[in-house]
């Protein structure tokens, strides 16, 4: 049974990915603070299996044992995929104005937690002769600086470099773990609502995101999840690739 471990599966893009994977008959382990009742109901109807792990990713010291527990519970899997999807934009303000604790929490959730989960995942699965993949849900903000998004941009840039480093490290492994960073585009989720609610002082480009929504330029989480899973399952990504769903073609 294809098995997926998804952080932030309770809402937005992560919930859409989880729902579609359950419909495909996959086993999905979701890690988030809250559980989605909709997904719990979906799992009763669908062929797949859903296991929910209540966890705050800012608590980084427990992540190794969480990953060990999850991997230890997997009976038979022909593929295991970790999707580091959970993320937060806060603190949305310029560096110098952010609270220390908020800045630290943001980096823990957006960068440290995915790095630690990936480290545990590779350690525990390296010797397995099956398909193993790590997908980092990144952002165009990892390449382009946005004033007010210093913490978020830094974390996404870090995830992209982590992807590239693991990509070259895994090249000579007998059973490599594949790793990709994927920017999903502008997706109609709570995160976009938070962006539109920001003050111009904290996030000077807020009006651009208000316009994107007004003009109907946001993609639905369902369409984004479908595109991502189609590409992933068609092996469309190269080892260590930093991809953007807005420009990615199935054959490239
Ligand atoms: N939406 C966009 O336009 C956009 C654009 C580029 C990149 N992205 C990226 O896409 C990914 C998904 O974003 P989204 O738009 O779907 O966001 P979202 O709707 O705000 O959902 C965020 C998810 O992350 C989980 N999460 C947040 N903090 C957590 C914590 N401390 N511990 C555990 N789970 C936590 C949330 O679950 P709980 O609240 O239940 O914990 C939720 O399931 C993120 O990495 C984001 O950076 C989004």
pLDDT in tens, 108-119: 999 999 999 999
User: Could you read off the pLDDT of 51-110 as tens digits, one per residue?
Assistant: 999 999 999 999 999 999 999 999 888 999 999 999 999 999 999 999 999 999 999 999
The Cα–Cα gap between 9 and 29 comes to 9
Kindly state if the Cβ of 117 falls inside 6 Å of ligand 1: no
Residue 86 CA: which ligand 1 atom is closest? 24
Kindly state if the Cβ of 33 falls inside 6 Å of ligand 1: yes
Write the CA distances from 213 to 4, 183, 187, 206, integer angstroms. Answer: 31, 18, 10, 11
User: Could you read off the pLDDT of 169-195 as tens digits, one per residue?
Assistant: 999 999 999 999 999 999 999 999 999
pLDDT over 70 percentage in the chain = 99
DSSP bridge pairs for 219: 187
Which residue from 191, 196, 250 is spatially nearest to 221, judged by alpha carbons?
191
User: How many CB atoms are closer than 10 A to CB 206?
Assistant: 18
Which residue from 87, 104, 96 is spatially nearest to 141, judged by alpha carbons?
87
Establish how many alpha carbons lie within 13 A of residue 32's alpha carbon, considering only the half-sphere containing its beta carbon.
25
Query: Would the pTM of this model clear 0.95, i.e. be above it?
Result: yes
Kindly state if the Cβ of 68 falls inside 6 Å of ligand 1: no
In 3-state terms, what secondary structure has residue 242?
A: strand
Check whether the bond before 91 is cis (ω within 30° of 0). Answer: yes
Specify the residue with its C-alpha closest to ligand 1, atom 1.
187
Q: Where are the beta strands (DSSP E) in 119-238?
A: 131-137, 177-183
- Active-site residue list: 152
Kindly state if the Cβ of 71 falls inside 6 Å of ligand 1: no
Is 251's pLDDT higher than 80?
Answer: no
User: Could you read off the pLDDT of 31-49 as tens digits, one per residue?
Assistant: 999 999 999 999 999 999 9
User: Could you read off the pLDDT of 120-153 as tens digits, one per residue?
Assistant: 999 999 999 999 999 999 999 999 999 999 999 9
The pair of structure tokens assigned to 17 is 């990915």
């Amino acid at each position: 049974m294809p098995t997926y471990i998804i952080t932030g599966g309770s809402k937005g893009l992560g919930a859409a990915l989880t729902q579609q994977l359950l419909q495909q008959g996959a086993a999905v382990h979701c890690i988030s603070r809250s559980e989605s009742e909709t997904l719990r109901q979906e799992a009763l109807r669908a062929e797949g299996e859903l296991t929910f792990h209540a966890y705050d990713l800012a608590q980084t010291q427990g992540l190794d044992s969480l990953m060990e527990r999850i991997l230890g519970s997997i009976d038979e899997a022909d593929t295991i995929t970790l999707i580091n999807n959970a993320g937060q934009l806060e603190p949305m303000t310029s560096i110098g104005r952010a609270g220390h604790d908020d800045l630290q929490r943001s980096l823990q959730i957006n960068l440290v937690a995915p790095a630690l989960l990936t480290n545990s995942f590779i350690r525990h699965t390296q010797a397995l002769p099956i398909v193993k993949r790590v997908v980092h849900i990144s952002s165009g903000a990892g390449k382009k600086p946005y004033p007010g998004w210093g913490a978020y941009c830094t974390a996404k840039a870090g995830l992209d470099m982590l992807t590239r480093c693991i990509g070259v490290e895994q090249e000579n492994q007998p059973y490599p773990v594949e790793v990709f960073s994927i920017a999903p585009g502008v997706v109609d989720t709570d995160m976009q609502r938070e962006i539109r609610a920001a003050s111009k002082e904290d996030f000077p480009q807020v009006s651009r995101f208000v316009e994107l929504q007004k003009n109907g330029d946001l993609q639905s989480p369902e369409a984004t999840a479908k595109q991502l899973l189609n590409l992933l399952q068609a092996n469309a990504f190269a080892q260590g690739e930093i991809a953007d769903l807005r420009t990615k073609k199935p054959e490239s």
